[in-house]
Chains A and B, each alone.
Chain A
């Protein structure tokens, strides 16, 4: 009996994925991003352990760091450490704690120079005890990048590299590349909006994007334009704690 078309297409798609991606199985499900809409952008419905994810920061205050931190939070929920490599000394731990990161699981590395930074990133990505690495890093040459890719594939941790937009044109060994653009807050909305674009991913169509809403009161991330449920019990309290944004008048 001939195979149904839909089944054949699924089988061929899986074969194509297997050929294009290196099979990295650590016997565990992929790490969810914290938002089902973002997971749907990815062929594996999440970020498999042993992956390098590049987040391109469209502009300052775009929300890329927050989204990456949420992924790290999901990765560390089953144990293991979260390592932040902060050469510039700009990472603010109390904000990470507010987003749900346990300070007792957090290690902050402050290298003195670029060479130490790269070495530390390599060491951390090689360590099986590290669940996620959150690292703003600008310069990465091809050889170093390849080494990081192999390191993370062997250890099973999750590398979240935050990179300036200008680096998006450079060759990359990351398994996933995402670009985050800030969006204007809509009137009456509970959170900030960002648009996440899948720049590159093996086994998936590049260019797809999704608009997300980050609820800054609860920390939930959902697809934008989702209805606000009546059971949102913090609604009244959030209004008291977070006054309605005052729109600036454009009239003099």
Chain B
């Protein structure tokens, strides 16, 4: 049984097996209720760990209906997607075009078997081969074969099991439905409207109107359906019947961008290593360029006789420029020491992104070319200083001055790139550029912030104001003007509560500082300088 958390309703059952279904568990049921039903039938499960025990239903033992200990685990849609993509790759032996069904959480595969069925002695034989392939891995599947994607999807999921075709290996729960050419309308009519892949709200509305099967919809005039439910319903009907074409988007595995160079003789000579690196970078750049992708993260492994050394380079913007990539790698290499003579050099691109195509210009323009130059600068800086040394700034709505902003590494998050480069490429209106609604006035915050705040030696304290004299960095300051107090308090749910009274003060010489008195104990601190 797989469960998922929903913000409003808590943990709910996402999927359950046939055996769990028989105990009364249903999808969308609260997890606690589902557990109670399971443990009622499997009392030993309440003592076992919920995620550790697994007893798979083996297809070779169809009589085994019950789990020894139920498996309860969190639903992982990413892992599901990855396995489905792998299964799609496996299915390429049956069809050149294999794709995932178009939905937010695809559960099925679409195979275009036009012209391939005769290679397998007919559609039924092909279906049996696919069935055998999946059942041998423990999957329970349903197969639908029709002229259109919509019809095949509908019949596979909602076809009557009693009317399913006979299979060579009858499996519990496995079905094969074949709709003969030109028979889609008659085959789809008795199916429920869910078989048309409609949104949940549309299905609900149709049910309220008493329309529960596809034949009900087909009986109604198209104009009234269009007026009442929009274009989407008609499009789905047309896709199922073949009036509108629907194409399967083939799933292609990501080609690994990798190149390797084994050296004939192990070497520590830098000129040899640099030359090899240059060849590898050129090779990968061509591979990336052919596919219209740029590198965002590359890894170079130097296999030495006794151990390996790996260097990684992150980029701010996807690039295929070989000179730039080589410079970044050499910068990393210069700061490290090879553990021994190098036997093999392997270069891998770990992360890619589509390349942006930019029209070349004859004449240089400083503002227009700024984003390109900045991206390279950020790459170079990050390569030497580390990703945490080159930072963008994000505003945070927090009363405590230290937390009113946060630094974000520019090369770690791709979203930073577009926002930053767009800002640099355009003329900024200094009057309206800042959009933070709670932005302070220029006089309210110091440009230099002391972190942590410096404890002050106070000479005299006036009950309702700042100190008269204070010492800071071996200097004595006498205050002549002050503004405030500005009280800053943080919310109690943040944990440690901060309560401070801030003052902007000016000394006899015109120096300006930002002081605060901690309200809990009356201690004074210097927090910033209005430099």
Contacts and interface: CB of A to CB of B under 8 A. Distances in A.
Interface stretch (A9-17, A85-93, A166-174): A85-93
A73 B448 CA distance: 17
A246 B465 contact: yes
Given A247-B481, A248-B468, A93 B405 contact: yes
Contacts of B434: 97-98, 100-103
Interface in B425-447: 425-431, 433-434, 436, 439-447
A207 interface: no
Contacts of A241: 441
Given A127-B373, A129-B371, A193-B510, A112 B482 contact: no
B108 to A, nearest CB: 43
Nearest to A192: B512
B186 interface: no
Interface string B356-386: 0000000000110111111011101100110
A205 B513 CA distance: 33
A77, A94, A101, A127: which has the most chain B beta carbons within 10 Å? A94
Contacts of B441: 98, 216-217, 241-242
Contacts of B407: 108, 110
B268 interface: no
A208 B513 CA distance: 28
Interface stretch (A36-44, A142-150, A179-187, A196-204): A179-187
A245 B482 contact: yes
B390 interface: yes
B262 interface: no
Contacts of A92: 401, 405, 445-449, 528
A106 interface: yes
B511 A60 contact: yes
Interface residues of A, number: 74
Contact-residue bracket for chain B: 35 or more
B451 interface: yes
Given A59-B511, A192-B506, A192-B510, A128 B444 contact: no
B482 A246 contact: yes
A62 B531 contact: yes
B373, B380, B424, B512: which has the most chain A beta carbons within 10 Å? B424
Contact of B391 (A77, A105, A107, A243): A107
B447 A97 contact: no
B481 A245 contact: yes
Contacts of A46: none
A159 interface: no
Nearest to A64: B531
A70 B433 CA distance: 15
A89 B528 CA distance: 12
A69 B447 contact: yes
Contacts of A243: 483
A98 B445 contact: yes
A111 B389 contact: yes
A53 to B, nearest CB: 16
Given A61-B511, A66-B530, A103-B395, A111 B424 contact: no
B433 to A, nearest CB: 4
Nearest to B404: A94
Contacts of B311: none
B423 interface: yes
A80 B424 contact: yes
Contact of A60 (B393, B439, B531): B531
A156 B468 contact: no
Contacts of A108: 391-393, 407
A48 interface: no
Interface string B225-260: 000000000000000000000000000000000000
Given A80-B367, A184-B508, A241-B441, A94 B385 contact: no
7 contacts: A79-B366, A95-B440, A97-B439, A105-B420, A129-B369, A219-B442, A246-B481
The 8 closest A-B pairs by CB, nearest first: A216-B443, A129-B373, A182-B510, A65-B531, A104-B423, A79-B367, A129-B370, A61-B511
